[in-house]
Amino acid sequence: MKRIVLGVLALVVIAIAVIAAAWVKFDIPREELVAKYASDASQFIELPSGAVAHVRDEGRPDGDVLVLVHGSNASLHTWEPWVAALGDTYRIISIDMPSHGLTGAVPNEDYSVSGMAAFTREVVQALDVGSFTLAGNSMGGAVALNYAVSYPDDLDGLILVCAAGIAREEDEVSSGDASFAFSLVRMPVVGDALMLVTPRFIFEDATRGVFVDQSVVTDEMVDRYYELNVMEGTRPATFKRFATPRAPVPDETVRQLEVPALVMWGDKDPLIPVSVGERFHALLPNSTLVIYENVGHIPMEEVAEVSAADVRSFMEANAARMPALEATVTLEDDGSLTVTGPQSGLAPMPDADVPDADVSGAEAPEGDAVVEEAAEEDAAGEEAAGPAN
């Protein structure tokens, strides 16, 4: 009898070992994934902090700038539908955050939300970007919110897409981590085991769990999530990120943000319920709320055309109420006037008849700045319906 029991135990151990061996995923070399997932628009920018950021700088070079920050365990690829829809008008910069995508682990090992906000600022400064609109989804929304608090003068607008970043009520937390996969990685011992044993189904479950329309989820999408998350160095960085406390931005701080904001939410978001979006709208003094029916946590992919159109409307309205920009007019030796500064793209000024008086360095008078307050409408009147599923 004892031999039978030992034999059964041995078979069980062997079976577990075989299954574990099948699930063990060794790191994929970064070069291999760069070859697969980088594009012609990809740049790898070495930053002052020592990190090498994977960035795409696309769209219209002289357009207003839209900077995009993805969510947890995602990558800049999640923004491709918006880039395709908006690139004819806007310069669009999408960024792989630290511990994500083709950026991966970073030397300073700062995977906090505030650290990612500082990382984002390093990127836009390296690209010599002036003011811009910043959009973030999920964790990226928390990054965008922290950026707005830390560097308010940089922003023309703020777009929060199913965003984290503020404190949640108890019922909002309990309804949050709906995916089995998200629960697993935060469990003691189990989470550590996943550092070596990283089955693909974890990522398929997590990916499918955030969409209502399952047709959006393809094998290629799941492969991308899976492979980028097992890039060399990424798994240890990811678990350091999970271990980093994420303090919410206090409500009173959010109330003080004056930047025009667009809050976008899927009414079936399983991770961050729509009530959080409604509270963002209530807190932000200059915000618009759009809610998509039968849509989950990733509206920019699930209802790409509709959500991109809402972004375009927001940015157009925001540009229309921007204050006038200052320009400098310089008298040249030949009597012509040269316009420099933010409005240098204006039509050339005609030659001027100027007397012989000393007018070198003359400047045009500063125009009056006209700022319009954006009217805040009831959330119900602003809801935009996504496709029925």
Rounded to whole angstroms, how far apart are CA atoms 48 and 44?
13
347 and 202 belong to one structural domain: no
175 and 160 belong to one structural domain: yes
Residue 384 has pLDDT above 80, yes or no: no
In a domain, 23, yes or no: no
Q: How far is CA 141 from the centre of its chain?
A: 6
Token duo for residue 120: 């984002």
What is the chain's mean pLDDT, rounded? Answer: 81
* Neighbour count for residue 301 (Cβ, 10 Å): 24
280 and 158 belong to one structural domain: yes
In a domain, 252, yes or no: yes
258 and 351 belong to one structural domain: no
pLDDT digits (tens, 9 = 90+) for 219-233: 999 999 999 999 999
Token duo for residue 291: 């809610």
Rounded to whole angstroms, how far apart are CA atoms 233 and 29?
9
Where residue 127 sits, what CATH number does that domain have? 3.40.50.1820
305 and 172 belong to one structural domain: yes
- Model confidence at 18, pLDDT cuts 50, 70, 90, reads very low
In a domain, 91, yes or no: yes
In a domain, 4, yes or no: no
Q: How far is CA 311 from the centre of its chain?
A: 14
* Half-sphere CA count of 303, side-chain side, radius 13 A: 27
Rounded to whole angstroms, how far apart are CA atoms 201 and 181?
9
In a domain, 22, yes or no: no
Q: How many domains does the chain have?
A: 2
318 and 350 belong to one structural domain: no
359 and 303 belong to one structural domain: no
H helix runs in the chain, sequence order:
2-23, 30-37, 80-86, 113-126, 139-150, 170-174, 180-185, 190-193, 200-209, 219-229, 234-243, 251-255, 274-283, 299-302, 304-320, 379-382
Q: Tell me which residue of 228, 221, 200, 242 sits closest to 103, measured CA to CA.
A: 228
The single residue listed with the structure tokens 């390296």 is 126
In a domain, 382, yes or no: no
The single residue listed with the structure tokens 């836009």 is 124
Residue 382 has pLDDT above 70, yes or no: no
In a domain, 376, yes or no: no
If one compares 204 and 196, the residue with the highest pLDDT of the two is 204
131 and 227 belong to one structural domain: yes
285 and 338 belong to one structural domain: no
Single pTM value for the model: 0.76
254 and 292 belong to one structural domain: yes
Residue 363 is part of which domain span? 328-367
286 and 346 belong to one structural domain: no
Q: How far is CA 132 from the centre of its chain?
A: 13
342 and 208 belong to one structural domain: no
In a domain, 380, yes or no: no
Confidence (pLDDT) at 189: 58
Identity at 172, one-letter amino acid code: E
